Structure 1
C-alpha cells in the first residue's frame, strides 16, 4: 500500500454557476486526487485584487497518495477540465475554478512550481476562515501558530459571509463504502488491470490471482480433456488457500481490499471443462471450501464482447492463450450469466466495458468508479 498524505486545498469560483463549479471540482478531486475527508461551508467574498463578481470560496481536506508534484499537476488538470485557462499575466481575472494547495502534511516546500505552505494564505481571510472551520488546530509549519490563531491575527478587513443555505455534497469513496470488492470477468476482460487501478487510486490491499503458478494450465490449453480435472483442482485449492491466507491478514473493518477474482469462478470454469463424474466430485470439495471463504461486499462482473476479448488476449501475448476459441469464451460468458441469475446472495453489478477503454481514457475509468459508488 502507498503512503497516504493529507493536503488542504482552497477552492474558489466567481464565474458561471459558482456552487456547481465547486461541486464538480470536489467530484473530480475525489476521483483524481484522493478521498475527501472534510468540506467547509461556502463563503462569499468580494473579488480579491480586482473588481469583478463575488467569489464563492471553500477549503477541503483530502487524503492522497500523490506526491506534491503530482498533486499540483492533478489540481491544474481539474481546473482545465472545468474551463480554467491559465495565462502568463500577473493580473487577477475571473475564473470558473481556482485551486490552491495550502498545506501538504506539515512539509515546507520551495520549488519552481509549488510553494507550500501557500505564501499568501495568511493575508487572505477567504482562505483562513473556511480552513479554520474544518481544521482550527492545524499548526502552520512556518508560522508555528494554529489556524484559528492565524485567523485572529489576519489583517484582511474584507467582508466574508457564510452562505448557510448552500451546501456541497461530500463524495462517497469506494474505500468508505466497501471493505472488500471482487472483480470478475471473462479471459481478457481487464479485471486485473482494473483491480490494480482501483488499488492504486484508493490505496486498497490488492489480492491477485496466481494463475501463472498453475503448472497444468499450458497443458490444459493443449489437451483439455486430459488435463481439465488437474487444472481445475489446482486452481480451486490455490484460490482457497490464497483467499484464506490473504483475507485473514487484513482487518475487514479497517482495510479496503480489492481482488481480481472470486472463488466462485472455479465452479463456473469447472462446469465448462469437467466431465459429469469429475464435476460431481469437484462440487463436493468446492462446497466444503466455499463455506469458509469471506464474501465480498461488492461483486463486479466486467462484460466484454467476444471479439474484444480475442483482441485483448492476442494483445497481451500469453503463448498458451493464443489458441483459445471464441466458442470457449462464449461458454464462460454463459456460465457467469447463469451464476449471476441463479441468486448467489452477493451484491452484484454487471458493467459492459466492450466500448470502454478505462486504461487510456480517464472519463471511461471515472464512469466505472461512479457506477460502483452510486449503488
Structure 2
C-alpha cells in the first residue's frame, strides 16, 4: 500500500511525515519517503540551484524542474516498492501531484509548451502504474504563505498568488479524498496530532 500525504507548499507535509516516522519507529514494514528536495538542490550552476532558478524564471525552467521532480520521485518510490520488507510506503507527495497540480498548472499558464507537456505525459504513463491512497492536508493559502515566510528557506521565494493557485489545483484534484484540517498549528495544539494519527491508523494495520 502506498499512502501519499498531499497538500500545498507550507501545509505541513514534511512535518507530518517526520512525526509519523517517529510514531511508527518500531515498524520495520513501513517505509517513509520525504520529498527529495536535497536532490533538487544538488542540481545547480554558478547562479544557484534548480529550485531557485525555477522560482525566478518559471518560463525557462518549468519543464526542466518538473522532469527532475518526476525522475527523483520515481527513483526513490521504485526502490521502496522493490524492497520486499515494506508492506506500507508513506510518501510526502507522489507522482500524481506533479501531473495533476504542478505540471498541469504550468501547462495551463503557458509556462510549459504543448510539446513539453506531451513528453512529460509520455514519461508519466510509461513508468508510473502505482496506485495511491491519499490524505490531503488542506491549508488556506494565507496560512501556508505565513509558514513559508517563517521557515525562511533561501530557495523558496514564493508569492501568495502562487500558493493560491496551487491551492485551487489541489482542491480540484483531492476534494474526494480524506481531508485533514492543516490550518491548525500542531506545535501549539499537540492534541490535534492524535486525531491525525487516528486517520492514518485506520489505513495501516
Task: Please state which band the TM-score falls in when normalised by the shorter chain.
Answer: 0.7 to 0.9
Q: 1:365 aligns with which of 184, 193, 201?
A: 193
Cα deviation, 1:24-64, whole Å, max 9, x if unaligned, reads xxxxxxxxxxxxxxxxxxxxxxxxxxxxxxxxxxxxxxxxx
In structure 1, the partner of 2:4 is 182
In the alignment, is the contact (CA less than 8 A) between 1:187 and 1:309 conserved in 2? yes
- Equivalent residue in structure 2 for 1:233, among 67, 73, 92: 67
How many Å separate the matches in 1 of 2:106 and 2:127?
A: 20
Query: Structure 1 length as normaliser, TM-score?
Result: 0.46
Matches of 2:160 and 2:55, distance apart in 1: 13
- Aligned 8 A contact 2:140 2:167 in 1: no
Per the alignment, residue 289 of structure 1 pairs with: 127
Question: Deviation of residue 252 (structure 1)?
Answer: 4.1
More helix by share: 2
| 8 Å Cα contact 1:181/1:259 also seen in 2 | yes
Aligned partner of 2:52 in structure 1 is: 218
1:263-318 alpha-carbon deviations (Å, 9 max, x no partner): 11111211112424122221121111222x3x23x311101111111111111111
2: CA distance, partners of 1:283 / 1:257: 24
1:321 corresponds in structure 2 to: 156
| CA pair 244-362 structure 1, distance change in 2 beyond 3 A | same
Q: 1:305 aligns with which of 140, 154, 157?
A: 140
Match of 1:247 among 78, 81, 101: 81
CA distance in 2, matches of 1:329, 1:247: 31
Q: Is the 8 A contact 1:180 1:252 kept in 2?
A: no
Equivalenced residue count is 185
Report 1 or 2 for greater relative contact order, CA contacts < 8 Å, sequence distance ≥ 6. Answer: 2
Q: Call closer, same or farther: CA 1:290–1:257 in 2, change over 3 Å.
A: closer
Deviation track 1:306-355 (CA, whole Å, cap 9, x = no partner) reads 11111111111111213x112211221122222235x7xxxx3111211x
What's the secondary structure of 1:310's corresponding residue?
A: helix
1-structure distance, mates of 2:55, 2:92: 22
What is the TM-score normalised by the length of structure 2? 0.81
Partners of 2:13 and 2:34 lie apart in 1 by 10
Matched, 1:331 2:165: yes
SS at match of 1:251: coil
Supply the RMSD in Å over aligned alpha carbons.
Answer: 2.0
Query: Does residue 258 in structure 1 map to residue 90 in structure 2?
Result: yes
Segments of 5+ residues of structure 1 without an aligned counterpart are 1-178
Mapped partners of 1:258, 1:198: distance in 2: 9
- Does 1:351 pair with 2:180? yes
Q: Which deviations, in whole Å up to 9, do the C-alpha atoms of 1:112-162 show, x marking residues without a partner?
A: xxxxxxxxxxxxxxxxxxxxxxxxxxxxxxxxxxxxxxxxxxxxxxxxxxx
Once residues 84 and 134 of structure 2 are traced to their aligned partners in structure 1, the CA distance between those partners, rounded to angstroms, is 19
Tell me the CA shift for residue 211 of structure 1. 1.6
- Give distance in 2, aligned partners of 1:361 and 1:237: 37
Unaligned runs of 5+ in 2: 44-49
Structure 1 residue 251: deviation in Å? 3.1
